[in-house]
Amino acid sequence: MIAHIFEDRCTACQACVSACPTHVLDAGPDGAPRIARLDQCQTCFLCELHCEADAIYVGPDQRQPEAISPEAILASGHLGRLRHDHGWDREPEPGSTGHLHDFWQLGPLLREGAEIAARRYSERQASDRA
Amino acid sequence: MTEEGIDLQADVLIIGGGMAACWAAIAAAQAGADVLLVDKGFVGTSGVTATGGPNHWWVAPEPGKREAAVEERHARSFGLAERHWMARIIEESWIALPTLARYYPFGGDGRGGTFYPGVRGPEYMRALRRYATDAGVRILDHHPALELLVHDDGSVAGAAGHGRLTGQSWRARAGAVIMATGGCAFRSGLIGSHGNTGDGLLMAAEAGAALSGMEFSVSYSLSPAWNSTRTLPYFAARFFDQDGRELDIPPPIGGEGAHLRALASAMLAGPVIADLSDAPDGLKPILRRIQPASPTPFERRGLDIFRDRFEIKLFGEGTVRGTGGLQVVDAHCQTSLSGLYAAGDSATRELVAGATSGGGAQNAAWALTSGRIAGAAAAARAKRDGRRLGAAARAVGQAGLRPAASPRPVDLKAVLPVVQHATIGYDDALWRSAPKLARARDALDGAWRLLADHDQGVGLDRGGLREHAAMIAAARWVTAAAHRRDESRGMHMRADRPATDAALASRLLTGGTDKVWTRFETPALQEAAA
């Protein structure tokens, strides 16, 4: 769930208020948004993706709020990481096929995983019979 | 009503903001219609596509290839899919996806070409939003529709709702309406599905629309117990009980029912732990580049996803990955209500997937195709009949808006467990039986009566109240259809009727709010039952 908004980084653009699909945030009249309905947070991390200032941090547990200090968040290096991994913080490198360069491998890797499971299962069945 | 409201109008009104809604909006606008799209959340982050990575069914138009693909999947549909619809979603996906290139950064296919069929959710929805906006679509984010408006002749005239950031009520009239609000995941915690509460199904059913395939709603997605994620990393997982004994779980593909039942049995007995160390070696270094959000919940808990063991859970997917939804009565994605079209997960996907989920490929291709078809058809209707603004239109929402008896507050927290037990509870859903379904029906009828008779929302509260009403309604249709279909077929698994009955190879319709009804689509079956 959304754990913290860094007011010193927040530009009060309210993009996260708008981008949150479940209406967790309320616009701050002059500044940072307010976490108003945390019970509606589905931990989708999409507010982080839409925050150009990397000022919002979502904790990993969707079942309940977690206490984490702003210092610990900063020290973790995770603030802004997701947006960076998506490539939303920069243009792709010239000459590359872009931030989605590896995306085509999703299907083949998924099938490979399923095949590993199927092979392991049949070997196990065979050894149980032996 | 003392609160201030706004009046809107358009040729085509689209309710919903996921991929089907966007494709519908783009198609309608390209056909020359003035298009208004209202979404409960934000077009770009709303719904299950935004957090996902949909792969569209993708078969080149080479001799015999598409026919073979259709035959292969048709054979797995348990007799309920239609080949011409399947061929249509392949063709539409093939045509439409490349048109997104101005907005979506398609990458390579590993062989020097462009990879079109699979797209990453946040980038896909961002692209569709820009595409729709450029096509002239007016988007109103955070404007949930609460109910439909209906003409005296029963045709759909528009919708009314609430702006949750503005606090203003709204009322929109249109020449045609497209329902694209997604499926219902019953607040299971499934990633992206918090808003997928079946709102559109309820709104349409209140106006008299029929649903189809609601019994095909048993699907789960595996994730860490604390966070529902994408499932790519879990396909090669090994599973253990809490004492470290390895569990004998059938593999995930080729027999989804057996896989899910084995995992659910183990979870009913105690915590189940996953170990992903067997994942393909090629996946480990690039998971982050394919699905950046998949490792995130692990890293933020200080875990190594491929080394550390962790507790897992099955998150119910309801009619999101299940196939049930509004009945489609013609080739234009019209529902059984004149003037109302359905697209994506709010429409039944049986036409292309039958009694199975259809997997990702058919689902995304269906959402894209049904959106485009509905969009074009709605635009044509609006052009032909106009907006009919001179005709009277009445709002037909009931539960939560206009209580049947004396208003008094209802404890919504007590409603959800009843709904979830019946629809996504492991035992009730994966081992359905007539006695369990009868018990669920009675409990759900009680919850419905309480809410429909007494609860009345005001302002912002109306949204949450209507979501709960919609989830109860969807659960009642699921339960009624599962009870009526006295056999097992695809994802509908009856422990008391394990065999498939060849005589029941027909789609099953359901609907009604105060009184739920069911009826087989094939007339002969209906007469036999009467």
Rounded alpha-carbon distances, angstroms, from residue B209 to A43, B172, B200, B334: 34, 20, 11, 10
pLDDT score for B3: 55
pLDDT score for B125: 98
Residues B283 and B134 in one domain: no
Q: How far apart are CA B114 and CA B473, in angstroms?
A: 44
Neighbours of B488 (CB within 10 A): 20
Spatial CB neighbours of B514, under 8 Å, sequence gap ≥ 6: B398, B404, B448, B452
Residue in B382, B27, B446 with CA at minimum distance from that of residue B172: B382
A14 to chain B, closest Cα gap in Å: 12
Q: How far apart are CA B305 and CA B191, in angstroms?
A: 18
Mutate to test the interface with B, among A62, A76, A119 (most CBs of B within 10 A): A62
> Is B194 within 8 Å of A61 when comparing Cβ atoms?
no
Q: Which residues of B touch A101 (CB under 8 A)?
A: 107-108, 289
Q: What percentage of residues in chain B have a pLDDT greater than 90?
A: 92
Domain that holds residue B447: 412-529
- Are B80 and B362 within 8 A, CB to CB? no
pLDDT score for B357: 83
From the list A22, A100, A118, the residue facing B251 with the nearest CB is: A118
Does residue B420 form part of some domain?
yes
Mutate to test the interface with B, among A18, A45, A58, A122 (most CBs of B within 10 A): A45
pLDDT score for B443: 98
Tell me the mean pLDDT in the region B218-238: 96
Q: pLDDT tens for residues B121-179? A: 999 999 999 999 999 999 999 999 999 999 999 999 999 999 999 999 999 999 999 99
Task: Report, in this order, helix, strand and coil percent for chain B, each rounded to 5.
Answer: 40, 20, 45
Q: Which residues of B touch A27 (CB under 8 A)?
A: 165
A86 to chain B, closest Cα gap in Å: 6
Contact pairs from chain A to chain B, CB under 8 Å: 179
B210 to chain A, closest Cα gap in Å: 28
Strands B220-224 and A56-58: unpaired
**How would residue B526 be classed by pLDDT, with cut points 50, 70 and 90?**
low
B302 to chain A, closest Cα gap in Å: 10
Q: How far apart are CA B201 and CA B208, in angstroms?
A: 10
From the list B45, B107, B142, the residue facing A103 with the nearest CB is: B107
> Is B290 within 8 Å of A109 when comparing Cβ atoms?
yes
Q: pLDDT tens for residues A77-127? A: 999 999 999 999 999 988 788 899 999 999 999 999 999 999 999 999 898
Kindly give the interhelix angle for B83-96 and B65-74, rounded to the nearest 10 degrees: 130
Rounded alpha-carbon distances, angstroms, from residue B258 to B324, B357, B460: 21, 15, 43
Residue in B187, B41, B462, B124 with CA at minimum distance from that of residue A20: B41
From the list A19, A23, A117, the residue facing B251 with the nearest CB is: A117
- Are B364 and B20 within 8 A, CB to CB? no
> Is A21 within 8 Å of B280 when comparing Cβ atoms?
no
Q: How far apart are CA B59 and CA B437, in angstroms?
A: 40
- Higher-confidence residue of A5 and A95: namely A5
With CA atoms as reference, the chain A residue closest to B248 would be A121
Does residue B170 form part of some domain?
yes
- What total number of domains does chain B contain? 3
Q: How far apart are CA B316 and CA B474, in angstroms?
A: 14
Measured CA angle at A39 (ends A34, A41), to 5 deg: 75
Q: pLDDT tens for residues B243-299? A: 999 999 999 987 778 999 999 999 999 999 999 999 999 999 999 999 999 999 999
Does residue B374 form part of some domain?
yes
Cα dihedral sign, B372-B477-B362-B102: positive
Does residue B404 form part of some domain?
no
Residues B100 and B188 in one domain: yes
> Is A103 within 8 Å of B109 when comparing Cβ atoms?
no
Does residue B360 form part of some domain?
yes
pLDDT score for B530: 45
- Are A46 and B45 within 8 A, CB to CB? yes
Residues B38 and B98 in one domain: yes
B226 to chain A, closest Cα gap in Å: 5
Q: pLDDT tens for residues B485-505? A: 999 999 999 999 999 999 999
> Is B115 within 8 Å of A92 when comparing Cβ atoms?
no
Does residue B403 form part of some domain?
no
Residues B418 and B481 in one domain: yes
Tell me the mean pLDDT in the region A44-66: 97
- Are B239 and B251 within 8 A, CB to CB? no
- In this structure, which amino acid lies at residue B514? D
User: How high is the mean pLDDT of chain A?
Assistant: 95
A66 to chain B, closest Cα gap in Å: 11
User: How high is the mean pLDDT of chain B?
Assistant: 95
- Whether residue B240 is predicted with pLDDT greater than 70 in this model: the reply is yes
Strands B169-179 and B156-162: antiparallel
Does residue B340 form part of some domain?
yes
Q: What are the DSSP E strand ranges found in B180-230?
A: 211-212, 220-224
User: Which tokens in the block code for residue A23?
Assistant: 């209406």
- Are B149 and B395 within 8 A, CB to CB? yes
Mutate to test the interface with A, among B300, B305, B311, B412 (most CBs of A within 10 A): B300
Domain at B248, CATH number: 3.90.700.10
Q: How far apart are CA B103 and CA B22, in angstroms?
A: 13
Q: Which of the residue ranges B76-90, B97-111, B352-366 would you say has the lowest mean pLDDT?
A: B352-366
Q: How far apart are CA B82 and CA B326, in angstroms?
A: 17
Domain at B205, CATH number: 3.50.50.60
Q: Which residues of B touch A120 (CB under 8 A)?
A: 236, 238, 251, 278
With CA atoms as reference, the chain B residue closest to A25 would be B165
pLDDT score for B229: 94
Residues B54 and B158 in one domain: yes
